Amino acid sequence: MHEEYKQYNYGNFGTNLRNLRLSFRRLQGHADADSAALAHDLQVRSRVVNNPRGYPQWEGSAAERLLKIDIDTHEHKKMEPRMLYQKRKEYQEFPLEVFRNHIYQEVRSRTGSLYWSAKKKK
């Protein structure tokens, strides 16, 4: 036996191993139930198409991804929000006001993060 195991009675090894295996099986059962519950909840959540206001969820949408690309290419500076809104059908799934606010939010997050990180370093 290794030195670190000498404090334990060797006669109890079989009982301890059996208890450990039973405990593992019980915990594995809980993990399987949790995994099934998570899969169910994700399936239910994916069925929700519109948020309570009646339009799709912005986060994770194609419109969000395309807006980030348009901001990277400075399209938002070349045209008004209304014109940018009319440019893609993905944007038109949202009200113009909501889309406009997401433009401002994305620009603010890109410029503001530099300001706040610099201020934090001071």
Sorting pLDDT into bands at 50, 70 and 90, what band is 46?
Answer: low
Q: Is the pLDDT of residue 48 over 60?
A: no
Number of structural domains the chain divides into: 2
Does 35 share its domain with 81?
no
Q: Which long-range contacts link 60-67 to residues 24+ away (Cβ below 8 Å)?
A: 61/90, 61/93, 62/90, 63/88, 63/90, 63/91, 63/93, 63/94, 63/99, 63/102, 64/102, 66/90, 66/91, 67/91, 67/99, 67/102, 67/103, 67/106
For residue 49, the model assigns a pLDDT of 67
User: Please, are residues 94 and 56 in contact by the beta-carbon 8 Å criterion?
Assistant: yes
Sorting pLDDT into bands at 50, 70 and 90, what band is 71?
Answer: very high
Does 66 share its domain with 116?
yes
Q: Which residue has the higher pLDDT, 58 or 116?
A: 58
In a domain, 5, yes or no: no
Looking at residue 45, its amino acid is: R
Does 80 share its domain with 116?
yes
In a domain, 112, yes or no: yes
Which tokens hold the place of 52? 């309570």
- For 8, phi then psi, to 5°, come to -100, 145
Does 73 share its domain with 111?
yes
In a domain, 4, yes or no: no
Does 37 share its domain with 79?
no
Give mean pLDDT, residues 11-38: 93
Structural domain containing residue 15 = 11-47
Instruction: Find the length of the chain.
Output: 122
Does 31 share its domain with 82?
no
Does 71 share its domain with 33?
no
In a domain, 97, yes or no: yes
Q: Is the pLDDT of residue 45 over 80?
A: no
Does 117 share its domain with 76?
yes
Does 37 share its domain with 80?
no
How many C-alpha atoms does 113 have within 13 Å on its Cβ side? 5
In a domain, 69, yes or no: yes
Does 42 share its domain with 66?
no
Write the pLDDT tens digit of every residue in 59-70: 889 999 999 999
Distance CA 117, CA 13 (A): 56
